[in-house]
Amino acid sequence: MTMGILLRWLGAFLLISAIFNPTSWNYVTWARAEWDRQMPLIVFLGLILAVAAMVYVVATMRSIGLVGALVIAAIFAAGLWVLTDWGLLGLDNSALNTWLAILVLSLILGIGMSWSILRQRLSGQQTTDEVDG
- Domain ranges within the chain, ordered by starting residue: 2-121
Checking if the pLDDT of 131 tops 70, the result is no
For residue 34, the Cα-to-chain-centroid distance in whole angstroms is 26
Question: What pLDDT was estimated at residue 115?
Answer: 86
The predicted model gives 32-54 an average pLDDT of 98
Integer Cα distance of 87 and 83 in angstroms: 6
Give the tens place of pLDDT for each residue, 83-128: 999 999 998 999 999 999 999 999 999 999 998 777 777 777 766 6
**Better-scored residue on pLDDT, 5 or 109:** 109
User: Where residue 129 falls among pLDDT bands split at 50, 70, 90?
Assistant: low
Give the tens place of pLDDT for each residue, 54-71: 999 999 999 999 999 999
Question: What pLDDT was estimated at residue 2?
Answer: 79
Query: Full-prediction pTM beyond 0.75?
Result: yes
